[in-house]
Amino acid sequence: MSTLKQRLENRVKDTTRWETRRQLGADGPNMENLWVLACMDERMSVDEALGIHADSGVGGGDAHLFRNAGGIVTDDAIRSAMLTINFFGTTEIVVVQHTGCGMLSANGHDLEAALRGKGIDLDNIPIDPSLPELSLDSGAFAKWIGMMDDVDKTCIKCVDQLLNHPLIPDDITISGWVWETEFRRLRAPDVNAATRAVTQATTASMGVKGDQPPRWS
């Protein structure tokens, strides 16, 4: 049996390693060697959905967690994934999106029209003020927003984009999942899932008309 002194010494050692992880590069990964791409929705609990500790540091920090509107693949998501995979020891990516997502709740063309109605010139928008070289072609704003027609199709497309991106090594494990907000239950993305009929999985189920700008189709 170990002594209290030994246990305390190990605790201090583990805490010090936790504090200095980022100085260790690939030798200081998070607890699960994991990067999670998730929606920013306040109802989307990554810890509950995946059974890990990523929403807070409690438990040691199981994953690098990246959130945006929809949990979709964007240039900044790729930048973050590239860093954690190539330089911080991450070996797995999980994409988790959810039913009832705000990205299903409106048509991207209508959002663009609403912003133009406020007098905003959407053909000359600084996408990243610190990187003026990054810009959108004229007329691409509605597509850039990334509104979805179908959460399952979008999740599948996001996984495919990560699998085929040159900055993501081929040996990285990548999977996608859909969190059913209505039932607080996780399932694989499947356009034929039985529960789609009773969840908000599409724009039509949320009363939105018209096809979205073609980003995920």
Percent of the chain surpassing pLDDT 70: 98
211 among annotated binding-site residues? no
pLDDT (tens digit, 9 = 90+) per residue, 40-79? 999 999 999 999 999 876 666 899 999 999 999 999 999 9
Name residues whose C-beta falls within 8 Å of residue 49's C-beta, 6 or more positions apart in sequence: 96, 98, 177, 179, 186
Indicate the class that CATH gives domain 28-106+147-206.
alpha beta
Token pair, residue 92, equals: 């797995």
Question: Can you give the pTM of this predicted structure?
Answer: 0.93
165 among annotated binding-site residues? no
41 among annotated binding-site residues? yes
39 among annotated binding-site residues? yes
| Domain positions in the chain | 28-106+147-206
| C-alpha R_g of the chain | 20
